[in-house]
Chains A and B, each alone.
Chain A
């Protein structure tokens, strides 16, 4: 079903939004991903993913207060929605259950 599935980058961003809790906006998300996975992404790509996630209803956004930095422009903060939270849980569950089914032998034989 379209809308409820989630891509790899989307999953990563969704997780990051969750982990950053109230401080998630495009630039911090970018930094966290870079720190944790060493993937150098383009901020515009993050923007696109966030807009997609918002459309699917996995995140919600609010505008922050004005600051002197950033040319006086406000930030758009993202938080996980109920649906987003649930999706993460499901994805993690599938992953661990699949992981547990891998026979240990596979590693030895290599």
Chain B
């Protein structure tokens, strides 16, 4: 018996050895082996392996130039053949190309959106070491104050007591009137610490780069604002006046910074130093522990960790607040800067917080679409294996290795992916503006070098993953079976599985879209308990000299009355009222007090004039609304909502009093229905409506206004012309308040703003769903053609024997029905689970009724039938003579 050396070692040798040297080298090793194996096979084997390993030398591995050339020639040959094959079968190529292009376009756009959301605030070079401070006061289970805006003293407190912290900086936004005389405009102005620019990477483009904010009277501007206020001239050194309190102060521009990019939670266009805090807030606020105003950020030193600060903090807090709070009540914590944009567990500070779930849902869906497109390619290619089997046979006979065939087929898929990639990138770039305006996503595809790597990597992944399976299936075919002409069975469970997956994904997307749409419709159509259609809002301005909140509100209302009398003469304007908050803005004033039973209570406050409730047509459940002429009502009357009645536990509300002796003299004159004044994400909070906040304030221990409580004028506009309304308002406004800016808005717009996030997600999901349906139906169309082509003769014979067109159509349609059925069944639990997660964010949800699933199943069946029927009808009605004549 002839012994052969270990195969693996031999194969290994063949793999690494230069083919030119292989033959004699291998021969020599064989000869040595034959010698040795006469003594002992085992030692011969061992020796052979040893020699193979010893043969690994540079001179052996080195390929000569000619071979490299050959590899190149084969690759270009592969490409040539791939081009021909793709060109030859234009129908399938078209389907694949369209599917992949759309899929890639969609993936790139949504991918950049997701990336933008996830990379918020990461552009700061020290972003990993920056934290925002939060304050959580826990007095009892349901008595928790949790805020990301913190007391003014935190900056110095943290900076001075911890070596780990390099800088503490404040960031706050406030509205001031900027400019002088006629040109005054209301601007949002930042108040920041001088070290702000050392912590964050907002680059100074001109002016004082070392110390951008050298003193109290300096101001920094963004490039946009430098142009806005100083035109083409250099802004540095220019003067800007800002009305602060009663004083009109002049600030000099010390530096101009580059416009802040959109992916930043911190946004401002002009800012002055927080050294002005003492003037702005007063001595008491500077040292207060329980007020909230700016956001405080800390920069931790390079080699320190925030956790050591967190450990030491409770002790410090207790030593400073000795006797004022129990241990565990006053908690200070830190949130990483990069966490701010999407973490909804910590209350939002100044910038709104995005929705993590939506971002993940979108990312998931865009991958799904790409997978659907890849599956199209895979299933269609496998379907073609029948057609191409002869080609494989001939190639194998001519001496093609399996690896050669595989690389040939991968080349085909790579080629088509590359074309689709280029087209997809082109489309993505073109459609960015449309995408942004449709979804409000605000992405930009500025080309960056790493994108090139991303795109080619993506093309590689798509090309290989969609081409690898067909390549294996095709190259596995046996030469003899193919060329002998015996029938190849076309049962491929893998392919069927893929089709099931496609159906599954499509049905899943359809039902998700339906559910999301229905939920949003529900929110919009839900009877909110008030009527906000055609209500116009005009923010009023308080007297600049007002000090207390009641003065703010009172002075603004007085001014509002002036405007009101003028507006009343217009017939198209009716139901004029004023109130501290309007619908569609979150964060109505939240007040807290401790009642006579020492229970901590919180409620919302709405300050109004007697007409406000009428403007919004708020229905009374008990009692009456405010009487316009009654001075008693103006002084003492309060109205509760139903939630407040239940919250305070009032049995007979009209004869009851609020549960604290400290409240001023008051009378509950009515109870309103529970109207939903914030978003439907939240339950209705207890609400007190009054004309005189001085009744309530004596008992109040803390208040929190996220929405400005300065009154707004509201009225109904019956006209149809918006420009007309604008003209009326502008003339009347100018004559009443020559110095202030007019802003007007519609409550409807604000209402939409509340659900903007969901709207945007829903919009995106809808688009992506339609796209995925298109891609999946394209694939189905291609598959039908394949199936029909392989069964043309069968159909011909069936017809000859007497089958009707409908029977044949049914037969063809049935071949996909099982897969469709499984797809639908599988999608139900997944959809159910995913949508429950999404819905749980809403306080008012639609039920997930079985009808939704039935509807989406019917939709997908109909779509599938349409995709199938075009060709199936053609196959069923074709004359059997045509299909059978060939032989």
Is B673 an interface position by the 8 A CB rule?
A: no
Contact with A along B53-81 (1 / 0, CB 8 A): 01101011000000000000000000000
The reply to whether A69 and B31 contact each other, CB–CB distance below 8 Å, is yes
Which DSSP category, helix, strand, loop or mixed, fits chain B's interface? helix
Distance between Cα atoms of A25 and B28 in the complex (Å): 9
Distance between Cα atoms of A63 and B27 in the complex (Å): 12
Is A19 an interface position by the 8 A CB rule?
A: no
CB within 8 Å of B: which of A46-62? Answer: 47-48, 51-52
Is A86 an interface position by the 8 A CB rule?
A: no
Q: How many residues of A contact B (CB 8 A)?
A: 19
Distance between Cα atoms of A73 and B31 in the complex (Å): 10
Is B25 an interface position by the 8 A CB rule?
A: yes
Distance between Cα atoms of A51 and B62 in the complex (Å): 12
CB within 8 Å of A: which of B25-67? Answer: 25-32, 34, 51, 54-55, 57, 59-60
The reply to whether A75 and B54 contact each other, CB–CB distance below 8 Å, is no
Distance between Cα atoms of A73 and B34 in the complex (Å): 13
The reply to whether B31 and A47 contact each other, CB–CB distance below 8 Å, is no
- The one of B4, B25, B54 in contact with A42, judged by C-beta atoms closer than 8 angstroms, is B54
With A43-B51, A44-B57 as contacts: A63 and B32 at CB distance below 8 Å: no
- The one of B27, B54, B55, B60 in contact with A70, judged by C-beta atoms closer than 8 angstroms, is B27
With A27-B32, A43-B32, A69-B34 as contacts: A74 and B55 at CB distance below 8 Å: no
Contact with A along B109-123 (1 / 0, CB 8 A): 000000000000000
- The one of B23, B28, B34 in contact with A47, judged by C-beta atoms closer than 8 angstroms, is B28
The reply to whether A73 and B30 contact each other, CB–CB distance below 8 Å, is yes
Is A26 an interface position by the 8 A CB rule?
A: yes
The reply to whether A51 and B59 contact each other, CB–CB distance below 8 Å, is yes
Is B24 an interface position by the 8 A CB rule?
A: yes
B9 CB to nearest A CB, Å: 13
With A70-B31, A70-B34 as contacts: A25 and B51 at CB distance below 8 Å: no
Is A3 an interface position by the 8 A CB rule?
A: no
The reply to whether B59 and A27 contact each other, CB–CB distance below 8 Å, is no
The reply to whether A44 and B51 contact each other, CB–CB distance below 8 Å, is yes
With A27-B31, A43-B32 as contacts: A74 and B24 at CB distance below 8 Å: yes
Contacts of B21 in A (CB 8 A): 51
Contact with B along A65-85 (1 / 0, CB 8 A): 000011101111000000000
Contacts of B51 in A (CB 8 A): 42-44
Distance between Cα atoms of A43 and B33 in the complex (Å): 11
The reply to whether A71 and B28 contact each other, CB–CB distance below 8 Å, is no
- The one of A42, A44, A48, A74 in contact with B27, judged by C-beta atoms closer than 8 angstroms, is A74
B10 CB to nearest A CB, Å: 9
The reply to whether B54 and A71 contact each other, CB–CB distance below 8 Å, is no
Contacts of A74 in B (CB 8 A): 23-24, 27
Contacts of A63 in B (CB 8 A): 23-24
Distance between Cα atoms of A50 and B32 in the complex (Å): 17
Contacts of A52 in B (CB 8 A): 59
Chain B residues close to A by CB (< 8 Å): 4, 21, 23-32, 34, 51, 54-55, 57, 59-60
The 5 closest A-B pairs by CB, nearest first: A73-B27, A76-B24, A70-B27, A44-B54, A71-B30
Chain A residues close to B by CB (< 8 Å): 25-27, 42-45, 47-48, 51-52, 63, 69-71, 73-76
Known contacts A43-B28, A47-B60, A74-B23; 19 additional CB pairs below 8 A are A26-B28, A27-B32, A42-B54, A43-B29, A43-B32, A43-B51, A44-B51, A47-B55, A48-B57, A63-B24, A70-B31, A71-B27, A71-B30, A73-B23, A73-B26, A74-B24, A75-B24, A76-B23, A76-B24
10 contacts between A and B (CB under 8 A): A26-B28, A42-B51, A43-B51, A45-B54, A47-B28, A48-B59, A51-B59, A70-B31, A71-B26, A74-B27
